[in-house]
Amino acid sequence: MISLHGLTKVFPGGVRALDAIDLTVADGEFFALLGPSGCGKTTLLRTIAGLEIPTSGNIRINEADVTRLPPGRRDVAMVFQDYAIFPHMDVTDNIAYPLRIRKVPRAERVRKAAEVARRLSLADLLHRRPAQLSGGQQQRVALARAIACHPAAFLFDEPLSNLDARLRLEARTFLKRLQRELAVTTVFVTHDQAEALALADRIAVMSAGRMVQIGTPAEIFQRPSTTFVASFIGSTPMNLLPGTSTRGALHVAGAVRAAPAGLGEGDEIVYGVRPEYMGLSETERQDGIPGTVAVLENLGTGVLVTLESGDHLVQAVVPEGSEPALGVRRWAVPARSLVYRDGALLA
Ligand code: ADP
Ligand code: MG
């Protein structure tokens, strides 16, 4: 288990990379840290690993306060984006490196490296150097090295981002299976929302050094707590349309919808609808957003239809073959919607 209390990191020069972070990652959990570039993901991971000293706050790993311990005494293994394996060592020595640091005898190191290599399908490559390996194999060597010393936790900093698209999907499935088998607490950093949704038991969405939302992939996908999270999650971005409430109704881009409780007269809101939950009506409806079909994109799993509605673009995903023709008029009718006020989820 990893728990962070009030963790803050201010770099010299004043950048507040971490701002009073409270977080508990459960024993054996696969936890993803998701957020845009520069939001503090790497700093958070490096602080847990002991490579950065926090300005304030503390870090516990399995109940022990490790805030003041050097990296080597924290019992965590970190895998970096660029793998950071040694070019002059063969696969065996790379995997066994952390065991050498711990003064494990050579015969035992070689045996252990071979065992871990088998598990990661590297058994035939033990005598190769990194330059003789593919990107995917190098990445598995980095993983093998992390596993070799049985750490209490894995810390992964975008470990798949240097792989091409197909390898990346393979590595993702592989990593998930491995983490399940080993049941080691894992913090996985990514800026890729699809990766976080696919891998994690829970996700924390970060922005500017803070946790904006923590929840299961389903919770974060279905009910993003802010418009920032809503715009960040989903393979097609959520429709976020400005609207106003008057006399119990919401007025959104030419449509009139029922207003949720708690809205006052004249409140400005943002109306959120996932393109997957947006239907298209051929006939005029008062609760539909009128628009003209401007773009059609085949996603493979359906067609993304973009309507132009005044100053706004409204998107819907429909099954292939049922998409309207370019230029025709349609009314976008949400099947499920969320209402945000001042950027925060209201209903
Ligand atoms: P991420 O991994 O989410 O892209 P980082 O943790 O690398 O973000 O960076 C968070 C913020 O801290 C950024 O504004 C970055 O410029 C700043 N930062 C990171 N490392 C340092 C450093 N060593 N010195 C000064 N500022 C830093
Ligand atoms: Mg980073």
Residue 61 lies in a domain: yes
Query: Both 81 and 39 in a single domain?
Result: yes
- 13 Cα nearest atom in ligand 1: 25
Q: What is the pLDDT of residues 19-55, one digit of tens each?
A: 999 999 999 999 999 999 999 999 999 999 999 999 9
Query: Both 212 and 246 in a single domain?
Result: no
Is pLDDT above 90 for 323? yes
- 39 Cα nearest atom in ligand 1: 3
- How many separate domains does the chain show? 2
Query: Both 185 and 296 in a single domain?
Result: no
The arithmetic mean of pLDDT across residues 183-197, rounded, is 94
Residue 28 or residue 247, greater confidence? 28
The arithmetic mean of pLDDT across residues 188-200, rounded, is 94
Last residue of a domain, one of 225, 248, 276: 225
Query: Both 268 and 208 in a single domain?
Result: no
- Distant-in-sequence, close-in-space partners of 281: CB < 8 Å, separation ≥ 6: 288, 330, 331, 332, 333
**Ligand 1 atom 22, closest CA:** 11
Query: Both 131 and 269 in a single domain?
Result: no
Query: Both 23 and 170 in a single domain?
Result: yes
- 206 Cα nearest atom in ligand 1: 3
Is pLDDT above 90 for 59? yes
**Ligand 1 atom 19, closest CA:** 43
Query: Both 146 and 186 in a single domain?
Result: yes
Confidence band (pLDDT; 50, 70, 90) for 163? confident
Residue 230 lies in a domain: no
Residue 82 or residue 169, greater confidence? 169
3 state SS for the chain = CEEEEEEEEECCCCCEEEEEEEEEECCCCEEEEECCCCCCHHHHHHHHHCCCCCCEEEEEECCEECCCCCHHHCCEEEECCCCCCCCCCCHHHHHHHHHHHCCCCHHHHHHHHHHHHHHCCCHHHCCCCHHHCCHHHHHHHHHHHHHHCCCCEEEEECCCCCCCHHHHHHHHHHHHHHHHHHCCEEEEEECCHHHHHHHCCEEEEEECCEEEEEECHHHHHHCCCEHHHHHHCCCCCCEEEEEEEECCEEEECCEEEECCCCCCCCCEEEEEECHHHEEEECCCCCCCEEEEEEEEEECCCCEEEEEEECCEEEEEEECCCCCCCCCCEEEEEECCCEEEECCEECC
- 52 Cα nearest atom in ligand 1: 23
Is pLDDT above 90 for 81? no
Q: Which of 162-171, 254-263, 298-307 has the highest average model confidence (pLDDT)? A: 298-307
CA 234–ligand 1 middle distance (angstroms): 26
CA 326–ligand 2 middle distance (angstroms): 41
pLDDT of residue 120: 85
**Ligand 1 atom 24, closest CA:** 11
CA 9–ligand 2 middle distance (angstroms): 15
Residue 215 lies in a domain: yes
Residue 84 lies in a domain: yes
Confidence band (pLDDT; 50, 70, 90) for 248? confident
Residue 176 lies in a domain: yes
**d(Cα 161, Cα 205) in Å, to the nearest integer?**
18
What is the gyration radius of the CA atoms in the chain, in angstroms? 24
Q: Mean pLDDT over all residues of the chain? A: 93
Of 303, 334, 316, the residue nearest 275 (C-alpha): 316
Last residue of a domain, one of 225, 254, 283: 225
Residue 234 lies in a domain: no
pLDDT of residue 244: 96
Parent domain of 335? 239-345
Residue 207 lies in a domain: yes
Is pLDDT above 80 for 83? no
Which residue among 11, 16, 41, 48 is best mutated to probe the pocket of ligand 1, counting the most ligand atoms within 8 A of its Cβ?
11
Residue 11 lies in a domain: yes
CATH assignment at residue 61: 3.40.50.300
Confidence band (pLDDT; 50, 70, 90) for 196? very high
